[in-house]
Amino acid sequence: NAGVTQTPKFQVLKTGQSMTLQCAQDMNHNSMYWYRQDPGMGLRLIYYSASEGTTDKGEVPNGYNVSRLNKREFSLRLESAAPSQTSVYFCASSVLGTVYEQYFGPGTRLTVT
Amino acid sequence: AQTVTQSQPEMSVQEAETVTLSCTYDTSENNYYLFWYKQPPSRQMILVIRQEAYKQQNATENRFSVNFQKAAKSFSLKISDSQLGDTAMYFCAFMSLEVDSGYALNFGKGTSLLVTP
């Protein structure tokens, strides 16, 4: 089991460029999440998908779009990157019911210059 | 929205000693989960321990235990017999069980723990 995988692990973008962060899970989880982590801020929710075909905004959605391609994959897109989007991005998935635990990917460190 | 507060940005403990990390939260809900996650320098988020709000008994996982005080909205983590591998950032997190929350995690800002020889 690979768990939650994210690509790429590192990325440097210039202001105004676009890119998509990919996330996939092989645990048959219904719910998937994107968080960003900034120094001294903890992790903050960008978007989540409670099930295939649905997405909802989190605490900091501005400047991002998401796609729940299928049950396994949940991508995060930056249409026009800004220096304020320099951060570490984490994808997570969870199974709901008796065990409300989220499993995290290894993260993507994104720098926007 | 719920607020999770970790009042200790940094802590230090000697190997084999015990340390307690503090966490308080603010919510009007009655049913929720609380978590402690560990983030070592590798950046990976690792679940340490979880507590269901409806359970009065404090959760324990080997050397890790919590002191859950629901009325006081307090959820501290105790690490016994600290080991060098416990050096990491520790995050307290709240999960609402309201359907419209998406069961997302609401994190505190973290406590950086250093275990010294």
Determine contact, residues A47/A34, Cβ cutoff 8 Å: yes
Among B4, B45, B110, the residue with its CB nearest the CB of A104 is B45
**pLDDT tens digits, residue range A63-103?**
999 999 899 999 999 999 999 999 999 999 998 766 678 99
Of residues A33, A96, A106, nearest to B44 (C-beta) = A106
Structure confidence at residue A74 (pLDDT) = 98
- Which value, in Å, is the radius of gyration of the alpha carbons in chain B? 14
Q: What is the separation of C-alpha A100 from the centre of its chain, rounded to a whole number of angstroms?
A: 19
B91 touching chain A per CB within 8 A: yes
Q: What is the pLDDT of residue A99?
A: 67
pLDDT at A62 over 90: yes
B101: pLDDT strictly greater than 90: no
Distance, in Å, from the CA atom of A37 to the CA atom of B28, rounded to the nearest integer, reads 26
pLDDT in tens, A9-32: 999 999 999 999 999 999 999 999
State whether B103 and A96 contact (CB < 8 Å): yes
Asked if A33 lies within 8 A of B102 by C-beta distance, the reply is yes
Q: Over chain B, what is the mean pLDDT?
A: 95
Q: What is the least distance, in Å, from the CA of A16 to any CA of chain B?
A: 27
- Tokens representing A107 are 């993260």
pLDDT at A98: 62
pLDDT exceeds 80 at position A55: yes
